[in-house]
A and B are shown apart, each in its own frame.
Chain A
Amino acid sequence: EDQVTQSPEALRLQEGESSSLNCSYTVSGLRGLFWYRQDPGKGPEFLFTLYSAGEEKEKERLKATLTKKESFLHITAPKPEDSATYLCAVQTSGGSNYKLTFGKGTLLTVNP
């Protein structure tokens, strides 16, 4: 059974205080690892896709990295508007069909 574990469950930072979120996974046949951002009352919003160990993607203050067992979302000098729940998901394939399995998310709060 595919499993995705995110840590910590919640993280509180001061503005400008860099940190990392972790996503560890156990899957058979990884077809991609996704990071999403979710604001209260809204659907998840796509951030990154990573496919192979060693791959990195960046967007503004966010940088996602991937190893064979986990992914990190690094947040550099965060701002209050970065406050959100960050979700990690793995895409696996059963035959020719694709499914996403999500972690429970990390609630990030950035205080001014």
Chain B
Amino acid sequence: DAGITQSPRHKVTETGTPVTLRCHQTENHRYMYWYRQDPGHGLRLIHYSYGVKDTDKGEVSDGYSVSRSKTEDFLLTLESATSSQTSVYFCATRTGTNYGYTFGSGTRLTVV
């Protein structure tokens, strides 16, 4: 997916544990995004970053935090996982005015 790697691809975790998802890009893009995708809701923005150490909240940010210490890495942390955070998580980069956004392959997270 055009230089975006998400890890892990699948994860099962227990309620109450912290979880960190990683997004790595090789294209040096400034903007990076975390979305979650759920049936009946579509893709919803969790957090985004517009530069190293510059981040902002999206529409469903409660229970999530992010960090971006390097251009290429954008981390999403679930402070204390809950069953409502079971979802598929997608990372994306803004690849330019005419080419929209490029998405990773997703991380399927199950909280039991």
Contact = CB atoms under 8 A, between A and B. Distances in A.
B contacts with A: majority SS = strand
Contacts of B100: 32, 34, 36, 46, 49, 91
Contacts of B103: 43-45
Contacts of A74: none
B41 A97 contact: no
A105 interface: yes
A contacts with B: majority SS = strand
Contacts, number: 55
A43 B99 contact: no
A12 interface: no
A101 B45 CA distance: 8
Contacts of A98: 31, 94
B74 interface: no
Interface string A91-104: 10000111111111
A87 interface: yes
Nearest to A6: B42
Interface of A: 32, 34, 36, 41-46, 49, 87, 89, 91, 96-105
